[in-house]
Amino acid sequence: MKATLCIDDAVGEYRRALLDEHRRPFRLEIERWSERGARAKLDEIRWGRARARMGARGWFVDLGLGADGLLETKATITEGAMIPVRVKSEAWADKGPLLSLADMPVSVARPERATLHESPGDDAFLAGVSIANTITGPEARRAIDFSVGEATSPSVEMPGGGRISLGATRALMAIDVDGAGRTAKGSDVDLNLAAADECARQISLRGAGGLVVVDFVSMDRREDQAAVVARFRQALADRLGRASKVLDMSSLGLCEAAIARRARPVADALACPPEEREALDALRLIETEGLGGPQRIEAALSRSAAAWLEREAIGWQKALADRIGARWTIRAEDRASNQPPSQPKVWRPT
């Protein structure tokens, strides 16, 4: 499918989104500067050390990046050996990355410690799409801000009325289709067909994986149920760039899908210490204000977020000064002890 690629290379955080032909986001990728080189990314080939057997399923593999990877294989492996692996699925929540054995010529020297061997040749984020247009700058930043808001919302309104509500647990993602308030003319079948498209878009946008259960509005005719399932199956393939296992609708109107988990979910990409999140949002706002005019820029942050910036763990000051000049002032504010860091305040004094 054709898509518009949005790129926001802000100081402190790199973000990309894909928009469909209706300018609606359907994929989102976020990487903080603080985690660069600190996580195993999809389709990388890495050297890891076989640390411990995982029952009869395979091995825990130390990649030198925190949580061990999980290698499912029946191949004969010696504990402590350095082995080449490919990242099949990125780490998420408290689960390490899923790995497969990588083909490696015997002539290649084994390193002494876990390390990256080869970056992916293809960009997995763009799988199955044809880029019709690429946008950067303020327009891309606004589009990605909207995408992040939508990807973290518990419910989404559908065109023509009705909504879908999404709830994720450790075991599965549950999606409920609700036709209340729908103004578009049509039957429950039309509502469910529209919902099938929207469910697929939200699954892709949020980076959901594993088991997904969709509670569509009840339909009596098996032909109608089959049509909705077929639409959902195709919409998933279009949005994800790959096929997924989607079962026929149950007698209760539930449709189950098994989504191969590959890139980490958006919720995990956003899950960082609250002071870092506030600081990164402040840097993006300061940069945006700086690109809008030559005035000095003021910012007010919580004390914890200001302290995070003062530590200069990501080298943001030089990077920001190179883009807008060193013309900002950051002020730390006291917040109530039970109040989490919130959106920073950034402005250009008049």
DSSP 8-state secondary structure symbol assigned to residue 174? E
Say yes or no: do domains 45-118 and 272-347 share a fold. Answer: no
Q: Which CATH topology does 272-347 take?
A: Hypothetical Protein Ychn; Chain: A, (3.40.1260)
Q: How large is the average pLDDT for residues 10-25?
A: 97
The 10s digit of each residue's pLDDT in 257-312 is 999 999 999 999 999 999 999 999 999 999 999 998 899 999 999 999 999 999 99
Q: What is the amino acid identity at position 14?
A: Y
Given this model, what pLDDT does residue 341 score?
Answer: 54
Examine the pLDDT at 251 and tell me if it is beyond 90. no
| Cα–Cα distance list, 53 to 72, 73, 207, 229 (Å) | 10, 10, 30, 40
CA pair distance 98, 91, nearest whole angstrom: 7
Nearest residue to 328 (alpha-carbon basis) of 295, 304, 292? 295
Q: Which two tokens stand for residue 143?
A: 């589009």
What does the pLDDT read at residue 187? 86
pLDDT > 90 in the chain, percent: 84
pLDDT of residue 337: 58
Measured distance CA(228)–CA(344) in Å, rounded: 44
H or E segment and range at residue 32: strand 25-32
Walk across the sheet containing 25-32 and list its strands.
Answer: 25-32, 13-19, 2-10, 130-135
**At 46, phi and psi to the nearest 5?**
-130, 155
Mode of pairing for the β-strands spanning 163-168 and 25-32: unpaired
Q: Nearest to residue 239, comparing CAs of 82, 114, 126?
A: 126
> pLDDT for 140-176, tens place per residue?
999 999 999 999 999 999 988 889 999 988 889 999 9
Domain ranges of the chain: 45-118, 153-269, 272-347
Label residue 55 by pLDDT band (50, 70, 90): confident
CATH superfamily of domain region 45-118:
Nucleic acid-binding proteins (2.40.50.140)
Residue 323 neighbours by CB under 8 Å, 6+ apart: 11, 287, 290, 291
